[in-house]
Amino acid sequence: MADPISNSSVDISPISPIERRNSLEKHLQTRPDPKDLKDRNILLDTNAAPSLQSKAQELERQRATDSLKKGLGKRPEREELVERNILPDSNAAPAIQGQQKELQRHMRADSLEQKLQSRPKPEDLVKEGILEANEEATKD
C-alpha cells in the first residue's frame, strides 16, 4: 500500500530563500492591522502584560458571573410574580398561553350569554312578588 503523503499533490521541492522572503513580505503586507484584530476579538484590547492578560480575562469573567448570581438571587419567586399580575397564572407552554387566554375569554362570554338567556322575565318576577309592577315600567 502506498503512503498517502507521497501520492498527494503537495509540492515538496525546496523553496529558495529569495522566494521565501518574497512570500513572507507579501503575506505581511496583507496582514490585518491590530485595531481590526481587536475589533474581531482576536487580540485582547488591553494594556496589561501578556502574562497577565489571561488572569485579567478570568477575573472579568468571574466578576460577570458573580454579578449574574447576585441578580438572580434577588429575583422574585414565580408565585410572587403571579400575585402581582406580572406572570399569567398558567401552566401551559408560553407558545399557547395566548390561545388559552382567548379560549377562557370565549368561555366566559358563552357562560354569561347562557345565564342571560335563563334569566327570569320581569313578568315572572312581578308574579313572585320580587319586583313591583311600577318598577317594571320604569326599567323598560
Q: How high is the pLDDT of residue 107?
A: 97
Measured distance CA(101)–CA(34) in Å, rounded: 55
Q: Where are the beta strands (DSSP E) in 13-56?
A: none
How far does CA 100 lie from the centroid of its chain? 22
**What's the pTM?**
0.40
DSSP state, 126? H
Q: How high is the pLDDT of residue 139?
A: 52
DSSP state, 87? S
Q: How far is the CA of 34 from the CAs of 31, 38, 40, 47, 55, in angstroms?
A: 9, 6, 10, 13, 21
Q: What is the mean pLDDT of each run of 10 residues along the chain (140 residues)?
A: 57 80 85 88 78 86 96 93 89 89 95 94 87 64
Instruction: State the amino acid at position 130 in one-letter form.
Output: I
